[in-house]
Amino acid sequence: MSGQYEILCLENPLLDIQAVGDEKLLQKYGLKSNDAILAEEKHMGLYEDLFQNYKVDLNAGGAAQNTARGAQYILPADSVVFVGCVGKDKYAEKLVEANKKVGLRAVYRYDEEQPTGRCGVIITGHDRSMCTDLAAANCYKVEHLKENWDLVKQAKIYFVGGYHLTVSVPAILALAEEAAAENKVFMLSLSAPFIPQFFKDQLDQTSPYWDYVVGNETEARSFAASHDLNTEDIPTIAKHMANLPKKNTQRKRTVIITQGTEPTVIAVQGDNDVKTFPVHVIGKDEIADTTGAGDAFAGGFLAGMAKGESIEKCVDMGSWLAKLSIQELGPAYVSTSAIY
């Protein structure tokens, strides 16, 4: 498998600027304690505020980049490639460094004007508020993907982070259509509740191409709300998503909904039964940071798919990698040498 680049991931490469904050800081910028949003003008002072007045940790972020690193952590060398847009600055160097640690190949487009995107992460207790200024990440275009079409052709699995639906739907659809035409795997992550809520039309353009779609319980409920499903029941929502119209009829769609410490729900197109799988239990005192647990889960799941494992095994690998990642700050996959 070496040198084959089985998996290609697309999304927004970001640097996470993380700090333990308080209610006052959240209020100052009008942020909710547990949320993920795109920064507006009124949020732009947050990042400097964090640097000046709080003890910050800088971590490589961007949901799908976290996922890509996770899949590469498990798989043989040169299995995963990540594409996205960064700036020509020290933050991009930091991302390159983090990717190098697990051997992830990132083929960045470097924007001349915009800085690397950043995500302010404010921790209060067990909550985390994420506020993203996309900057260079917002400059990715389908043309940039076309410049690397050889990598697209090589890969057998495409993973797109839903956050990219705010950036370049044409790039996402180019991958989706290629997957359908070549009977390759197209997997999308819902990423955050605001995606199904405020980017519903963009999301719906991609749904016929989903071979796999992954999200957590709040994202699934947001999908249900924006699609008038009149239910909050996760198995019901998962089943609905699994049975939406599908372009490539050679593959059945699989929907994976994680629920933190609660069992993961799996619905397969056409199947009456919805399955649940328990997570890998971890002691409360072993948890360092749950940021990106879902990203890590998707990484383990993807690694399983690349290896041709059963759905049960893929979920188990996802849960295993998520457990590993929450024992360190951000999903870095560097603090242990654990092997699945």
Q: Helix (H, G, I), strand (E, B), or coil: what is residue 79?
A: coil
Q: Does 84 participate in binding Mg ion (rule CB under 5 A)?
A: no
- Cβ closest to ligand ADP, residue 87 vs residue 294: 294
In the complex, what is the shortest distance from the CB of residue 91 to Mg ion, in angstroms, rounded to a whole number? 22
- Cβ closest to ligand ADP, residue 66 vs residue 248: 66
Q: Which one of Mg ion, ligand ADP, none is in contact with 314 (Cβ closer than 5 to 8 A by kind)?
A: none
What is the per-residue DSSP string for 177-218? HHHHHHT-EEEEE--STHHHHHSHHHHHHHGGG-SEEEEEHH
Q: Does 45 participate in binding Mg ion (rule CB under 5 A)?
A: no
Of 299, 308, 317, 331, nearest to 159 by C-alpha is 299
Q: Does 117 participate in binding Mg ion (rule CB under 5 A)?
A: no
Kind and range of the H or E run holding 280: none
> Tokens at residue 210, please?
């989903």
Q: Does 261 participate in binding Mg ion (rule CB under 5 A)?
A: no
Map residues 260-299 to x or -, x wherever contact with ligand ADP holds by CB under 6 A. Answer: xx--x--------------xx-x----x--x--xx--x--
For residues 154 and 1, what is the distance between their CA atoms, to the nearest angstrom?
Answer: 12
Q: Does 221 participate in binding ligand ADP (rule CB under 6 A)?
A: no
Q: Does 237 participate in binding ligand ADP (rule CB under 6 A)?
A: no
Is 295 designated active site? yes
Of 264, 285, 276, nearest to 327 by C-alpha is 285
Indicate if the alpha-carbon torsion angle 278, 279, 284, 290 is positive or negative.
Answer: negative
* Footprint on this chain of ligand ADP (rule: CB under 6 A): 216, 258-261, 264, 279-280, 282, 287, 290, 293-294, 297, 319, 322-323, 326
Enzyme catalytic residues? 295
